Chains A and B, each alone.
Chain A
Amino acid sequence: MPLFKSPKLVKLEENMQDQLREHMTDEEAFSLAKFDEKEVERVGYSNYSYWRSTFQVFRKNKIASFLVYLVLAILLFTFVQPYLPNQRDPFIANNDTVSGKPLRNIQPGEKGFIFGTNSIGQDLWSRLWAATRTSLIIAISVAAIEALVGILAGVLWGYVKACDLIFTELYNILDNIPSSLVLILVSYMLTPGIGTIIFAMSITRWIGMARFIRNQIVIIRDREYNLASRCLGTGTFTIIFRNLLPYLVSVIMLRVALAIPEAIGSEVFITYIGLGLPATTPSLGNLINLGRQLMLSPNLRYQLIYPTVILSIVTIAFYVVGNAFSDAADPKNHR
């Protein structure tokens, strides 16, 4: 109880009671109120919108905003490149039109090859984009599977008590195994291919995501504002989407974004071991591995450097954008 009530407040309260009396009889005032969704969700003077605030905060990060466009441009170009005019087939070994000799190891920019040719005369430019395509397909699939399975498992883990023990034990085991070992073991056992790599990377990754989601849910679930929502009769789905999800978006997006550079790196690693995609399939791992075998002759080094430059740009862009977006998506950083 406040010791002192300001006259203004007293007057306000009186006004309110007058208004109430004007509108309803005693009987009405003491009957059960009906559930009105609009009234429940009504908040004080605020035009706060989660997504708008997220984008506002994100736009302040100049480097990340630039990299978003870069990522989009690279993604677009990677998938559009084969349909552009004057592109060569990445699989054909080119021969000289006059002499018929194979055009091996042509330096970049010479004879119309933008990035030169490799040791059997294939066009490095189109191979590079085909490789980026393969690697991105792998990476995006891994990220999507992690998000899908991880979120589902995490929600189950957090909300269903019976699942807790099973998932916790599973986590204790899976978390102890280095993912690279799983990758090696699975690739060793199955036939190499895009599916194998995606499968091998996805087996262990999802549990990390599930763990994050579960912890967040357990922390946030019983906070006062959720209790209040539940008391006001808000449905479970509304609670999940409006109260819980904004806190999860930042973590989910971060893990999804970081899964992409990691998956690209894993592909390079597993190719080096000799368990990657077949050497005929262009992938960043295969290109880098071929380039590595030539790296000691300085005039052929371009075959290593171009793939690594593209790979570095893609991975760094995803990493920075992921981090910046996760900062922006965290409601704690909204003003």
Chain B
Amino acid sequence: MVKYMSKRLLRSLVTVFIIVSTVFILMRQLPLDGFLPNVDKMSQEQIKNSLALLGLDKPIHVQLGNFWKQLILHGDLGTSYVYRNNVATMKVLSTKIPLSVKLGTMAILLGLLLGLPLGILMAKHKNKFPDHLGTVFIVFIEAVPAAVYYLFIQLYGTELFGLSLLFREGDWRTWILPVFSLSLPDIIYFAMWIRRYTVDESTKDYVQLARIKGMSEQKILYRHVFRNAFVPMVQYLPSSFLNTVVGSIYIESLYAVPGMGGLLIDVVKKQDNNMVQAIVMLFSIVGIIGLVLGDLMMVLLDPRISFVTKGGRR
């Protein structure tokens, strides 16, 4: 177990290293105005001096080395020169991260809260009206791009309930639509999963036995099926995490939530290379942490799962 986890962590670190280095090297190939906002008005001399000041004139591997040194020793992901004038990107981000995390966590919880009952309802009425209705809903959310239905939720949601179009942290009502939109992919995933699992499992021997013993369907569902279904579901949590992260890019910008995702769109439009780089790196790192946590939780939750290979494997 410890051996597996340390191996898993090491592998993730290698992945982080490769991703961060690749992103860094790619970003250095971009035109200079992403680093020096006034590059058009500067003379050759000035450009040279500014580049030397920022350390951008050195060979790429030296720059990469410096970047890693800064990152490891100071947790520094570079400095913003365009979006903010000469402010460390981490300083800009540090105020935005907690809000994004809060929004994402609420969305995943809401996804569980609405998705599981929906799935159970569909399984209970298999091939009847509620099941069909749920399937239509799932197909719609799965097939139609999120970018489109998020827009309509904002448009009609704010009109119907008289809510504000824009997000304000102090006003709880403005949280409703962003969190709900963000949770939609989770809702349908959990619903789909629980429905299929419950349907598949209801013909298994242990359920049959429970039924013969006279256990009520309700009890079978919660005592047996549900518990077994939960373990593989944990596996999905990391990708749900990733989805939420990506979804937040669009949602935060739509509702003007001052979080990380909205910021990414801002800095892309303003062409601040270092900010784009920092956010992309941070998002990838968050994604990888999510995957590791998902694996860890699965091992902890289910004693039957072991990732340590035993003898006899082909």
* Residues of chain B within 8 A of A268, CB atoms compared: 145, 147-148
Tell me which of B142, B151, B245, B288 contacts A319 (CB under 8 A).
B142
Task: Count A interface residues, CB 8 Å.
Answer: 34
Pair B280/A181 contact, Cβ less than 8 Å: yes
* Residues of chain A within 8 A of B280, CB atoms compared: 181, 184-185
Nearest B residue (CB) for A266:
B145
Pair B145/A320 contact, Cβ less than 8 Å: no
Pair B276/A188 contact, Cβ less than 8 Å: yes
Does A282 touch B at the CB level, under 8 Å?
no
Does B229 touch A at the CB level, under 8 Å?
no
Does B52 touch A at the CB level, under 8 Å?
no
Pair B268/A316 contact, Cβ less than 8 Å: no
Report the bound CA distance from A319 to B144 in whole Å.
9
* Residues of chain B within 8 A of A173, CB atoms compared: 15, 18-19
Identify which of residues 245-304 in chain B touch chain A, using a CB-to-CB cut-off of 8 Å. 245-246, 249-250, 253, 264-265, 268-269, 276, 280, 283-284, 287-288, 291
Tell me which of A185, A275, A304, A312 contacts B26 (CB under 8 A).
A185
Pair B268/A176 contact, Cβ less than 8 Å: no
* Residues of chain B within 8 A of A292, CB atoms compared: 151
Chain B interface residue bracket vs A: 35 or more
Does B85 touch A at the CB level, under 8 Å?
no
Report the bound CA distance from A262 to B147 in whole Å.
11
Pair A265/B152 contact, Cβ less than 8 Å: no
Report the bound CA distance from A335 to B224 in whole Å.
33
Nearest B residue (CB) for A322:
B143
Does B242 touch A at the CB level, under 8 Å?
yes
Report the bound CA distance from A266 to B144 in whole Å.
11
Expressed in whole angstroms, the minimum distance between the Cβ of B260 and any Cβ of chain A is 12
> A268-B148, A311-B144 are contacts. A319–B139 as well, Cβ < 8 Å?
yes
Identify which of residues 138-166 in chain B touch chain A, using a CB-to-CB cut-off of 8 Å. 139-140, 142-148, 151-152, 155
Nearest B residue (CB) for A319:
B143
Expressed in whole angstroms, the minimum distance between the Cβ of B23 and any Cβ of chain A is 7
Does B11 touch A at the CB level, under 8 Å?
yes
Report the bound CA distance from A261 to B149 in whole Å.
14
Question: Known contacts A272-B265, A308-B151; can you find 10 more A-B pairs with CB under 8 A?
Answer: A176-B12, A176-B284, A180-B246, A185-B26, A262-B145, A264-B145, A265-B147, A266-B145, A273-B265, A315-B144
Interface residues of A (CB under 8 A from B): 172-173, 176-178, 180-181, 184-185, 188-189, 261-262, 264-266, 268-269, 272-275, 288, 292, 295, 304, 308, 311-312, 315-316, 318-320
Interface residues of B (CB under 8 A from A): 11-12, 15, 18-19, 23, 26-27, 29-30, 139-140, 142-148, 151-152, 155, 242, 245-246, 249-250, 253, 264-265, 268-269, 276, 280, 283-284, 287-288, 291
- 17 residue pairs bridging A and B, Cβ less than 8 Å apart: A172-B15, A173-B18, A176-B287, A176-B288, A178-B284, A181-B284, A188-B276, A189-B26, A268-B145, A269-B145, A273-B265, A288-B148, A312-B144, A315-B143, A315-B144, A316-B143, A319-B142
